């Protein structure tokens, strides 16, 4: 069988007793024809910013958390982490929660109440579904993926890195394999508001050129390890190996 991360492979072995010899790890691939900064023009960024009600003169840093609105994805955790920052720090930031509630109205209400109760109206925005994720990553300065439960791979982190953006993830699951601590982003203690706030503060306080360098390192890292072409080649190689083994058994 194939696993989309080393974490998934270890999980399968621990849960089902599958031997390591029967598992091939093939990381999920990013489509670089879509997630390429050079393909994003100003018109796409402007259109997206306006759809998020971000004024042209708004110079705040955009922190993006993209994912369906579910407690698993950590939106409430991110809101609480923003509340840990000082008012001066908050004034320079705009946390954007992009994703569909998919009928989870109670959770959406929890998020909205948390924003209002902690005085974060205007600091945190819930913008709904986003059709242009490549532009969303590029419009952002930092991308968050503070998943409460382990992700099998960590697509958001890989795609955001491909777009040249530093990423903050929870330090578990497949995301540990898509973000290099201190090099392409930061890994926060899972479920910890304090740790997530500390990671955010660290990246926000970096000089712009340091964040840009971190984004470029992430882009190189992802392109070397998580391309769709590599996924396809590795998968076809597994099928070829199975067919060759079958032929030997039958001969």
Cβ–Cβ under 8 Å, residues 154 and 185:
no
Is 147 within the bounds of a domain? Answer: yes
Strand partners, 65: 97, 144
What pLDDT score was predicted for residue 113? 97
d(CA 107, CA 101): 8
Q: Which pTM value belongs to this model?
A: 0.91
pLDDT digits (tens, 9 = 90+) for 38-66: 999 999 999 999 999 999 999 999 999 99
For the chain, what is the domain count? 1
Is 244 within the bounds of a domain? Answer: no
What pLDDT score was predicted for residue 114? 97
Is 202 within the bounds of a domain? Answer: yes
Q: In the predicted model, is pLDDT for residue 239 greater than 90? A: no
Q: In the predicted model, is pLDDT for residue 67 greater than 90? A: yes
Is 115 within the bounds of a domain? Answer: yes
Domain residues for 46?
30-226
pLDDT digits (tens, 9 = 90+) for 177-201: 899 999 999 999 999 999 999 999 9
Q: Is 78 helix (H, G, I), strand (E, B) or coil?
A: helix
pLDDT digits (tens, 9 = 90+) for 92-150: 999 999 999 888 899 999 999 999 999 999 999 999 999 999 999 999 999 999 999 99
DSSP output for 19-44: -GGG-EE-PPPB-TTTS-GGG--HHH
Is 2 within the bounds of a domain? Answer: no
- More confident position, 85 or 27: 85
Is 250 within the bounds of a domain? Answer: no
Q: Other CB atoms closer than 10 Å to residue 28's CB: what's the count?
A: 17
Cβ–Cβ under 8 Å, residues 187 and 157:
no
Is 17 within the bounds of a domain? Answer: no
CATH of the domain at 177: 3.40.50.2000
Is 251 within the bounds of a domain? Answer: no
d(CA 52, CA 65): 13
Mean pLDDT, range 26-37, rounded to an integer: 87
Polymer length in residues for the chain? 251
Mean pLDDT, range 14-39, rounded to an integer: 84
In which band, very low, low, confident or very high, does the pLDDT at 212 lie, cut at 50, 70 and 90? very high
Cβ–Cβ under 8 Å, residues 139 and 103:
no
């Amino acid at each position: 069988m194939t696993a989309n991360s080393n974490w998934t492979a270890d999980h399968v072995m621990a849960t089902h007793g599958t031997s390591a010899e029967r598992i091939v790890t093939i990381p999920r691939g990013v489509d670089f024809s879509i997630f390429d900064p050079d393909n994003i023009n100003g018109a796409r960024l402007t259109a997206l910013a306006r759809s998020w009600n971000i004024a042209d003169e708004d110079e705040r840093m955009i922190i993006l958390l993209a994912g369906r609105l579910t407690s698993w994805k950590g939106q409430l955790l991110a809101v609480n982490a923003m509340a840990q920052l000082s008012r001066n720090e908050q004034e320079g930031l705009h946390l954007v929660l992009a994703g569909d509630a998919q009928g989870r109205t109670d959770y959406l209400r929890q998020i909205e109440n948390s924003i209002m109760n902690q005085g974060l109206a205007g600091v945190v925005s819930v913008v709904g579904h986003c059709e242009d994720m490549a532009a969303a990553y590029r419009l952002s300065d930092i991308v968050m993926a503070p998943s409460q439960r382990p992700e099998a791979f960590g697509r958001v982190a890989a795609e955001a890195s491909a777009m040249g953006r530093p990423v903050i993830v929870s330090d578990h699951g497949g995301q540990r394999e898509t973000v290099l601590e201190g090099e392409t982003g930061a890994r926060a203690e899972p479920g910890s508001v304090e740790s997530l706030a500390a990671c955010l503060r660290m990246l926000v306080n970096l000089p712009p050129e340091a964040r840009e360098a971190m984004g470029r390192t992430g882009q190189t890292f992802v392109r070397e390890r998580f391309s769709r072409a590599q996924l396809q080649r590795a998968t076809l190689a597994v099928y070829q190996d199975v067919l060759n083994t079958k032929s030997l058994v039958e001969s």
